Chain A
Amino acid sequence: MTNVERYLAPRSLSEAAEGLRDGNVTILAGGTDLMPQSKSGKAKFGACLMNIRRVDELRQILRTAAGFRIGALTTIAELRDSPEIRNDLPALWQASDHFASDQIRNAATIGGNLSNASPAGDTLVPLLMFGARVVLASKPNGTLQTRSVPLAEFLLGPGKTSRKPNELLAAVEMDAPPPGFISRFFKFGTRPALDISTISIALGAVHDGERLRDVRVAIGAVAPTVIRAPHVEEALEGKALDSATIAAAATAAGRDIRPISDVRASDWYRRELVHNMLERMLSHVGHG
């Protein structure tokens, strides 16, 4: 028996933020994380269940002057169907293509994926690599206000974010990648999609045909949150993509990751995979 005393279905961001004011609210979007977690007891409902799915303004993929703004309610299927995402943010597109299953992609939202803050979250890895910021909306004094938080600061640990109880994750923004920027996403698995990540890697850089600049590498399922890999980035920045550089970069990853052993894989194996898969991704980039 649940203790949900109120059910709200706001139709605007303002209404939703209003509903969060008094706290003790469980937010419902796609439900693909909330439902199983509540059935298993992992998540408990607050006194108010607020379904934000009807806040249409949160569901859009916008090109802004600086880059992109993706509304929190954008579904993974919408990301996958978007030509802009595919062309301009390929690593994010690849992550959406490797996400769960069609049925789940049709319901799951990018905001939900962000809020769930899984160390293995599929969209989180490319978003971190792209330097994304989450936009949090609230109405503490009766006026709607927003603040922008870099993703690395937003994700605090497994299932933990810096969202305050009266805040709603409204969108995720990122600057447009510089010209010549290529990006790739790789998720290890025996299936194309329906797999919780054992490890995943997003790689992005400006590749001028010889050297890499503005290198960003993010890795999932190797730490309590998805992480950037600064030692890998350092090993690649400004370097020609030859086999020595690739080997050095793959080895450098070992200093950035802290994988654990669990029912999916041992820590040793995760380390081997990160090394080998980074090597493979870089070789593919090197070969054009």
Chain B
Amino acid sequence: MSVREKASGDTLIGKRIPKMDAPQKASGKTRYVHDIDLPGQLHAKILRSAHAHARIRSIDVSEARRLPGVHAVITADDLPFQRPIGVAKDHLPLKRDRVRSFRDEIAAVAADTEEIAEAALKLIKVDYEPLPVLATAEEALRPGAPALHGEDLVCVNHNGTTEVVHRAAPNNVAMTFDYDQGDIASGIAESDAIVEDVFWLHYVTHCCMGVSGVIAEFDSNGNLTLYSNSQVPFLHRREFGELLGMDPGRIRIIQPPIGGGFGSKLDIYPFEPIAIYLAQITRRPVKLVFTREEEFVASPTRQPVLLKMRSGCTRDGVLTFRDVETVHDNGAYTSWGATTPFVMMQTISSLYRVPNCKYHTRAIYSNNPYAGSFRGYGNLQATFAVEAHMDRLAEMIGMDPLEFRLKNAQDPGEVTPQGMNFKSCGFKDCLTIAAERGEYQRKHRANIARRSDADPIKRGVGMASMLHVGGGAKIYQSDGCGTILKLDDFAHVTLITGASEIGQGSETVLAQLVCEELGLSLSSVTVVNNDTDITPWDVGVHASRTTFIAGNSAIGAARKAKDKILAAAAVKFDGKADAYDLKGGAVVERATGRKLIEIDRLIRSLHFSEKAELVMTTFYYEPPSQHQDKKFKGDVSAAYAWATQVVEVEVDTRTGIVRLLKVNAAHDVGRVINRLGIEGQIEGGIVMGHGYALTEDLIVDHAAIRNPNFRDYKLVTAPEIPEIDITFIETMDGEGPQGAKGVGEAPAICVAAAVANAIYNATGVRITALPFTPERVYRALHGALQSPAWDVPT
């Protein structure tokens, strides 16, 4: 999409535009999935495993079935044609024979009320034979460890044939990734300084304020309607079709407003197929909603990573190599967490210029909770390591850490060894501006001098940058988005987009882009985005792609509509189409701005005339990116985005409490479309990163989650937030809608890395494991902290 110059005062672009759905939400009128009740609906509850690892000898549901008000109780035995979910297809919704984690779904009940369903769960008798528990990936790799998926997973099809859907993993290795660029050996040989660390990136979880829920209903023709908060409704439609042995065309997904996503709704989790099975069996709508405890226990986590990294540079400060190995605890079943290496390798190979790079990852089965997709998708973990080493290398060669970064930061037009083409790139501006606004260099030096003084309260500043896709990510066959647009006789636009709204304000941004093209006010737009029966295909909300791709799609459809209107104007006013424009709800003379006719009048004249035409257009936008080849090389996104964050912390050495005082963030966003919305995304992402760095810790101990509640899993609260200062670097990306690039994940990605560097600046102590809880920091300051070790069998 061609980029306009920054327009003048009457443009909507760059303005502070309140979200279109905000008034409804602020009144409490918005109906989330929890608030929807269908006539005749039943309530479902799931029985989860009492053991982390066990054989199921028997399940007796007879008493539960007899409880008054219970309509159905199902186990895997009732589902002979059950098929697996998840990227590796190793995960049956209702478990057969064996449970591999505390989340495991063994049985499910549909009853008249939630209370009855819960009472029925208590009547289900399960006979377990406990098996040895693999509580870490390392244990799972040791010789003699039980194989958690030691047999092929075989499913039975409706036509009686059997199929191996997942091959056995006798050594508990679920997935591996290998990536390299250049030659590590020569990189090492060229290095004057080399550092090596082992990092531990911990379990955290999404904590969407709205818990997971779904409603499934079959109509009398056997068509399925799902009220689902899926972030990828079209992909899920196809997957549900496969799961159920049904034509996906007969599955309709309606997306009620979502109570938070952050990636948690990117995969199908057992509760959705389970609700569908119950709806099928009872022939009633079935509603299944989690409790908060269940949300903690059963939702995917962020991918925990044990990461070993060695990196080097020359004495002049040129990066030479990065050599990374990781162990990803895959948990009991494979979800998106195992694929975070795709994103991690981008950062490891291309955040700053590194000629030589080697990256090896293993995702290992264990009895722990499995990880899914979570804002940043592995990039937080990779950036934590990379930016720790940037500081360490700079210190080792005696170079200023900002200078060191600037020396290795890429410029626009660079293509990385991985094949990423940095057409627009504001990396150096991000570094310079964040450092300036955070007074980084002055404070950094001053804090080092204060480390050994008598004041127990230390101050530190730290810097970290991030690189993430900003123009989609071509990991599926298509990374596109479809739009259908109509302009009615009153010049009211209905914009039907495949792109979902997950609270990030995408519908408002799309409306802005369309109104900008058509010269209309925002009140003229209705966005329809939540029904797969109506909306055209979009791959989904992930990879910060929606503004870029759905935006370009909407602009495409709007421009076609504009062309049609201007062509009609040309006929009416006997001129050439390019002599006219659309502004302020009217057709105007492009050269003089003189108003010729209101748009709605022109449309009506087109409609109620011999031509008898309506203004209806469609557009499918596929970004000009590439699929990666088998070596993971390729220009996987149409644009890339950067950010640098400089943080200031206060460390109380008497308690270990770290307070995040200030964040100066500089984000290369291409172009600001909705200033209010983008600020909100960045502030929210920063606070999420704050939690990841300092307060959030999902304690997984012997495969059990010890703190499945808000009392002991600490989200950041209002009194704790830092001062936030944001600068937008507008690099005007050539392909982005109005020059914009994606930003949804960026702000969360480098906070923890910056905080680690700030704590080092304040205290001289480097901590390589998250989170920086008071006790962990206190132990580190007193030499009582054990650093993560690499005790991994090969």
Instruction: Check whether chain A touches chain B (CB < 8 angstroms).
Output: yes
**A residues apposed to B, CB below 8 Å:** 1, 188, 190-192, 194, 196, 263-266, 268-269, 272-273, 276-277, 279-280
**B residues apposed to A, CB below 8 Å:** 115, 119, 654-655, 657, 659, 694-695, 699, 706-707, 711-712, 714, 717, 719-720, 774-775, 778-779, 782, 784
The answer to whether A190 touches B706, judged by C-beta atoms less than 8 angstroms apart, is no
* Complex partner residue of B778 from A192, A194, A272, CB under 8 angstroms: A272
Contact A263 B694, CB 8 Å, known A1-B119, A276-B654:
no
The answer to whether B775 touches A191, judged by C-beta atoms less than 8 angstroms apart, is no
Chain A residue, CB-CB nearest to B293:
A40
5 A-B Cβ contacts within 8 A?
Answer: A188-B655, A194-B717, A196-B711, A263-B706, A263-B712
Contact A266 B699, CB 8 Å, known A1-B119, A192-B719, A277-B655:
no
A19 CB to nearest chain B CB (Å): 28
The answer to whether A190 touches B774, judged by C-beta atoms less than 8 angstroms apart, is yes
Separation of A268 and B695 alpha carbons in the complex (Å): 20
The answer to whether A190 touches B720, judged by C-beta atoms less than 8 angstroms apart, is yes
Separation of A192 and B115 alpha carbons in the complex (Å): 37
Number of A-B contacts (CB under 8 A): 38
Chain A residue, CB-CB nearest to B694:
A190
The 6 closest A-B pairs by CB, nearest first: A276-B654, A269-B775, A263-B706, A192-B719, A263-B707, A263-B712
Separation of A218 and B714 alpha carbons in the complex (Å): 27
* Complex partner residue of B115 from A1, A191, A194, A273, CB under 8 angstroms: A1
Contacts of A276 in B (CB 8 A): 654-655
Contacts of B717 in A (CB 8 A): 191, 194
Separation of A1 and B720 alpha carbons in the complex (Å): 40
The answer to whether A266 touches B115, judged by C-beta atoms less than 8 angstroms apart, is no
Contacts of B659 in A (CB 8 A): 190
Contacts of A196 in B (CB 8 A): 711-712
Separation of A196 and B706 alpha carbons in the complex (Å): 16
Separation of A132 and B339 alpha carbons in the complex (Å): 59
The answer to whether A191 touches B719, judged by C-beta atoms less than 8 angstroms apart, is yes
Contacts of B657 in A (CB 8 A): 190
Contacts of A192 in B (CB 8 A): 719
Separation of A273 and B775 alpha carbons in the complex (Å): 10
Residue of A192, A268, A269 with highest tally of chain B CB at under 10 A: A269
* Complex partner residue of B655 from A1, A263, A273, CB under 8 angstroms: A273
* Complex partner residue of B695 from A188, A190, A272, A273, CB under 8 angstroms: A190
Contacts of B779 in A (CB 8 A): 269
A188-B655, A279-B654 are known; give 4 further A-B pairs, CB within 8 A.
A263-B707, A268-B784, A272-B782, A276-B654
The answer to whether A280 touches B719, judged by C-beta atoms less than 8 angstroms apart, is no
Contacts of A277 in B (CB 8 A): 654-655
B782 CB to nearest chain A CB (Å): 8
Chain B residue, CB-CB nearest to A273:
B655
B655 CB to nearest chain A CB (Å): 6
Chain B residue, CB-CB nearest to A264:
B712
Contacts of A264 in B (CB 8 A): 712
Contact A266 B775, CB 8 Å, known A1-B115, A190-B694, A191-B720:
yes
Contacts of A273 in B (CB 8 A): 655
Contacts of B714 in A (CB 8 A): 190-191
Separation of A263 and B706 alpha carbons in the complex (Å): 7
A272 CB to nearest chain B CB (Å): 7
Separation of A191 and B657 alpha carbons in the complex (Å): 10
A247 CB to nearest chain B CB (Å): 14
Separation of A276 and B291 alpha carbons in the complex (Å): 40
Separation of A280 and B714 alpha carbons in the complex (Å): 26
Contact A269 B778, CB 8 Å, known A1-B119, A190-B714, A263-B707:
yes
Separation of A269 and B717 alpha carbons in the complex (Å): 24
Contacts of B119 in A (CB 8 A): 1
Contacts of A1 in B (CB 8 A): 115, 119
Separation of A280 and B655 alpha carbons in the complex (Å): 11
Contacts of A272 in B (CB 8 A): 778, 782
Separation of A1 and B117 alpha carbons in the complex (Å): 12
B561 CB to nearest chain A CB (Å): 50
A246 CB to nearest chain B CB (Å): 13
Contacts of B712 in A (CB 8 A): 196, 263-264
Contacts of A268 in B (CB 8 A): 784
Contacts of B699 in A (CB 8 A): 263
B485 CB to nearest chain A CB (Å): 46
Chain A residue, CB-CB nearest to B711:
A196
A174 CB to nearest chain B CB (Å): 30
A38 CB to nearest chain B CB (Å): 14
A11 CB to nearest chain B CB (Å): 31
Contacts of A280 in B (CB 8 A): 654
Separation of A268 and B785 alpha carbons in the complex (Å): 12
B717 CB to nearest chain A CB (Å): 6
Separation of A192 and B719 alpha carbons in the complex (Å): 7
Contacts of A263 in B (CB 8 A): 699, 706-707, 712
B502 CB to nearest chain A CB (Å): 27
Residue of A272, A277, A280 with highest tally of chain B CB at under 10 A: A272
Separation of A273 and B778 alpha carbons in the complex (Å): 10
A89 CB to nearest chain B CB (Å): 24
Contacts of B115 in A (CB 8 A): 1
Chain B residue, CB-CB nearest to A192:
B719
Separation of A190 and B694 alpha carbons in the complex (Å): 10
Separation of A285 and B119 alpha carbons in the complex (Å): 56
A128 CB to nearest chain B CB (Å): 23
Contacts of B695 in A (CB 8 A): 190
Separation of A279 and B694 alpha carbons in the complex (Å): 25
Chain A residue, CB-CB nearest to B699:
A263
The answer to whether A265 touches B775, judged by C-beta atoms less than 8 angstroms apart, is yes
Chain A residue, CB-CB nearest to B774:
A190
Contacts of B706 in A (CB 8 A): 263
Separation of A18 and B714 alpha carbons in the complex (Å): 43
Separation of A194 and B695 alpha carbons in the complex (Å): 13
Chain B residue, CB-CB nearest to A263:
B706
B554 CB to nearest chain A CB (Å): 42
Separation of A224 and B688 alpha carbons in the complex (Å): 36
Chain B residue, CB-CB nearest to A275:
B654
Separation of A264 and B714 alpha carbons in the complex (Å): 11
Chain B residue, CB-CB nearest to A39:
B291
Separation of A276 and B775 alpha carbons in the complex (Å): 13
A97 CB to nearest chain B CB (Å): 12
Separation of A280 and B711 alpha carbons in the complex (Å): 27
Separation of A266 and B659 alpha carbons in the complex (Å): 21
Separation of A192 and B784 alpha carbons in the complex (Å): 27
Contacts of B778 in A (CB 8 A): 269, 272
Contacts of B707 in A (CB 8 A): 263
Residue of A190, A191, A266, A277 with highest tally of chain B CB at under 10 A: A190
Chain B residue, CB-CB nearest to A195:
B714
Contacts of A191 in B (CB 8 A): 714, 717, 719-720
Separation of A190 and B699 alpha carbons in the complex (Å): 18
Contacts of A269 in B (CB 8 A): 775, 778-779
Chain A residue, CB-CB nearest to B712:
A263
Separation of A194 and B699 alpha carbons in the complex (Å): 19
Contacts of A266 in B (CB 8 A): 775
Separation of A263 and B784 alpha carbons in the complex (Å): 18
Separation of A29 and B779 alpha carbons in the complex (Å): 42
B773 CB to nearest chain A CB (Å): 8
B183 CB to nearest chain A CB (Å): 46
Separation of A265 and B657 alpha carbons in the complex (Å): 13
A144 CB to nearest chain B CB (Å): 38
B202 CB to nearest chain A CB (Å): 14
Separation of A272 and B654 alpha carbons in the complex (Å): 8
Contacts of A190 in B (CB 8 A): 657, 659, 694-695, 714, 720, 774
Separation of A268 and B782 alpha carbons in the complex (Å): 12
Separation of A16 and B492 alpha carbons in the complex (Å): 66
B682 CB to nearest chain A CB (Å): 23
A5 CB to nearest chain B CB (Å): 18
Residue of A192, A196, A266, A276 with highest tally of chain B CB at under 10 A: A276
Separation of A273 and B659 alpha carbons in the complex (Å): 17
Separation of A144 and B348 alpha carbons in the complex (Å): 76
A51 CB to nearest chain B CB (Å): 22
